[in-house]
Amino acid sequence: MESLGVLLAARIDPYLEAELDRRFKLFRFWESPPAQRREFLRENAEAIRAVVGSPARGADAEMIDLLPRLEIVANFGVGLDKVDLRRCRERGVRVVYTPDVVTDDTADLAIGLAIAAMRRICDSDRYLRDGSWKDKGDYKLTSKFSGKTVGILGLGRIGQAVAKRAEGFGCPICYCSRSEKRHTNYKYYPSVLELAANCQVLVVACPLTEETRHIINREVIDALGPKGVLVNIGRGPHVDECELVSALLDGQLGAAGLDVFEHEPHAPEQLFGLDNVVLVPHIGTDTLETSKAMADLILENLEAHVSNRPLLTPVF
């Protein structure tokens, strides 16, 4: 049987890379200089039948069109904004992803970012380390998370997990999604503007689409207000980053906890000196346990595809 040729679109996980290399014929996309990558795809087009992508690089229309034997795209994560789903459907290319296994880590981080931003954990850590506690006395008073109304934009798997955790802190929950969820008693708002006006902590947990790009605009930020907190664990382009920076600098937004940014790996340097902002480098699912679980799910899906068995986690 012909070995499955797999293009690994970006460096993701050493374990996954090693297992792909052991089980299949592996092509490492990043080993080719950027200016030569189109030629690299053309040269190996007959051999590559699968692409494994990441939140940083997936399979766009150009890549799909340059790989005439492409059969399957496996996405290391749940966000599919780096995969051209329409082109995959047109070409009959299967798509799989890694739902469920990422839910707990991402929800944990959302709560962690909210608490860290509101209690100024990172800034107070610096205050101790630089000697300010000894020289200047006690750190300033901060804001509690417990009991605050938490609004969730996108009540999917991750959004529901965030809600469950926030409930443990005595937080009332409200949400906005494409439609009202019949299985929950959480307060539903049909627009994100209404959601922002009626919560104190707004967590972005929806998929990135053309409709949700810059869904957190200045009007929404102003509705959240100078005591409000924005937490983004979705995708950077959900938020109009220029308006977010402006609001934080002007004191028109209370605090922010950000795992994702509009132009990764670049984050707005204007935010680096603010004590009410917590910035982390897209680490939502980056634990040893979850990374291995995601890798194993990718491998199992590819093995199922090669063996003509049902895919475990198909998008289609």
| Helix ranges, the chain (H) | 14-23, 37-43, 61-65, 85-91, 103-119, 121-129, 132-136, 157-167, 192-197, 218-224, 241-249, 288-306
Assign 31 a pLDDT band (cuts: 50, 70, 90). Answer: very high
Residue 256 predicted with pLDDT over 70: yes
**Which of 19, 264, 300, 303 is the catalytic position?**
264
Beta-bridge partner residues of 26: 6
Q: List the domains of the chain with CATH numbers.
A: 5-99+289-306 (3.40.50.720), 103-279 (3.40.50.720)
pLDDT band at 180 (very low <50, low <70, confident <90, very high): very high
- The tens digit of pLDDT for each residue in 259-287 reads 999 999 999 999 999 999 999 999 999 99
What percentage of the chain exceeds 90 in pLDDT? 97
Helix (H) or strand (E) holding 234: none
28 given a catalytic annotation: no
pLDDT in tens, 108-141: 999 999 999 999 999 999 999 999 999 999 999 9
282 is catalytic: yes
Would the pLDDT of 95 be above 50? yes
Given a cut of 90, whether residue 246 has pLDDT beyond it is yes
Quick check: 59 pLDDT over 80? Answer: yes
Give the tens place of pLDDT for each residue, 204-245: 999 999 999 999 999 999 999 999 999 999 999 999 999 999
Q: Encode pLDDT of 281-297 as tens digits.
A: 999 999 999 999 999 99
What letters, b where the CB count within 10 A reaches 16 and e where it falls short, cover 195-233?
bbbbbbbbbbbbbbeeebeebbeeebbbbbeeebbbbbb
Query: Which entry of 165, 238, 282, 305 is annotated as an active-site residue?
Result: 282
Question: Is 264 noted as a catalytic residue in this protein?
Answer: yes
Instruction: Please state, in angstroms and rounded to a whole number, the distance separating the CA atoms of residues 316 and 311.
Output: 9
List the catalytic residue out of 49, 94, 165, 235. 235
How far apart, in whole angstroms, are the C-alpha atoms of residue 27 and residue 47? 9
Predicted confidence (pLDDT) per residue in 38-55, tens digit: 999 999 999 999 999 998
pLDDT digits (tens, 9 = 90+) for 200-214: 999 999 999 999 999
Please say whether the beta carbons of 52 and 77 come within 8 A. no
Q: In this model, does residue 30 exceed pLDDT 90?
A: yes
Question: What's the pLDDT at 2?
Answer: 64
Residue 1 has what pLDDT? 47
State the pTM of this model. 0.91
Quote the CA–CA distance of 306 and 287 in Å, as a whole number.
29
| DSSP result, 55-86 | SS--B-HHHHHT-TT--EEEESSS--TTB-HH
Query: What is residue 3's predicted lDDT score, i.e. its pLDDT?
Result: 87
